[in-house]
A and B are shown apart, each in its own frame.
Chain A
Amino acid sequence: MGPVDYIPRIRDNYARLGYKAYNWVEHRDTAPWAPLCKPLSECRLGMVASGGIYVAGQVAFHHKDDTSIREIPADVDTKDLRATHFAYDLSDARTDPNVVFPIDTLRRLVREGFLGGLSSRFHTFMGGIYSSRRVTEDLAPRLTGRFREDGVDAVLLVPV
């Protein structure tokens, strides 16, 4: 069985609920490209995840086109991670945040020498942002600025 087609599924859901069709972003260009200039074992990796992960003690995300960012220290205690989101079943993410925010996995890959190191902080947001313009003009530039501040060689992005 092939991959699930989400675009027609969401279109049908919207139609059933009486909403107009969502205009998905479609790029037919050649995607931007920045080659990795050294082996992963020498790279410092950053991560951004859109599954609504926050640390206990931080203000949680809200569910209405929230474009705010939470900063997650790379040495966070995994049991202090929380998840909030409106568009996926949170039960497994709350059992083990590594299913949408692979923090323990990345730390292990550094210990094993597969990765050179990790950024001192990661970034999370609520990915269910209806306006792609807000993502392109507001959220993406702020995140890119943070990657630069973090001095990362490459970034892993994890949606839900």
Chain B
Amino acid sequence: MCHQSVGLVARHAEAAGIPTLCMTSALDITRAVNPPRAAFLDFPLGHTTGKPREPELQREILIGALSSFETMTAPGSVKELPFRWSEDEGWKAKAFAEGDERAARHDTPQYQDEEDRRRAEQGGPPSCPVCRS
């Protein structure tokens, strides 16, 4: 649902006059929501802008995607980026088990680690007061 939410935000901003570009790794969800511009990266979810610790690849991906701002002319265009996750595409079969499982959801903050919780609860470095609500 992340891809849907992001597409909806893009449509709203664009309608307000702000040009947008959505990255996507879930082409069917993005095509359904129909954002103004999108760049499709055929990678497993959780890698919408590249592989970890591969800054050159990350750079090429963003240049390929962002250049769409200057080249796309039709609303609803999707650029398919020419990068592959791996030679074989075994990850696509495994991906079936991922995604939204409707597992138990907690309405309390879910910290990456306990140190983060301690810092946030003690009022750590500056953070937006609005966001704390």
A-to-B contact residues, CB < 8 Å: 1, 3-7, 9-10, 13-14, 17, 19, 22, 24-36, 39-40, 43, 45, 48, 50-51, 54-66, 68-71, 80, 82-84, 86-90, 92-96, 98-102, 104-106, 108-109, 114-115, 125, 127-130, 132, 135-136, 139-141, 143-144, 147-148, 152-160
Contact = CB atoms under 8 A, between A and B. Distances in A.
A54 B124 CA distance: 13
B5 A50 contact: yes
B110 A95 contact: no
Contacts of B99: 6, 9-10, 13, 87
Contact of A144 (B12, B36, B100, B130): B12
Interface string B13-43: 1111111111111111100111110001010
Nearest to A153: B19
Contacts of B40: 3
Interface of B: 1-29, 32-36, 40, 42, 44-53, 55, 58-59, 61-63, 65-67, 69-70, 75-76, 89, 92, 95-96, 98-103, 105-113, 115-117, 119-120, 124-128, 130-133
B21 to A, nearest CB: 6
Contacts of A51: 2, 46, 48
Given A24-B29, A34-B19, A60-B112, A129 B106 contact: no
A157 B68 CA distance: 13
A86 B103 contact: yes
A105 B55 contact: yes
B26 to A, nearest CB: 5
Contacts of B127: 55, 57-59, 70-71
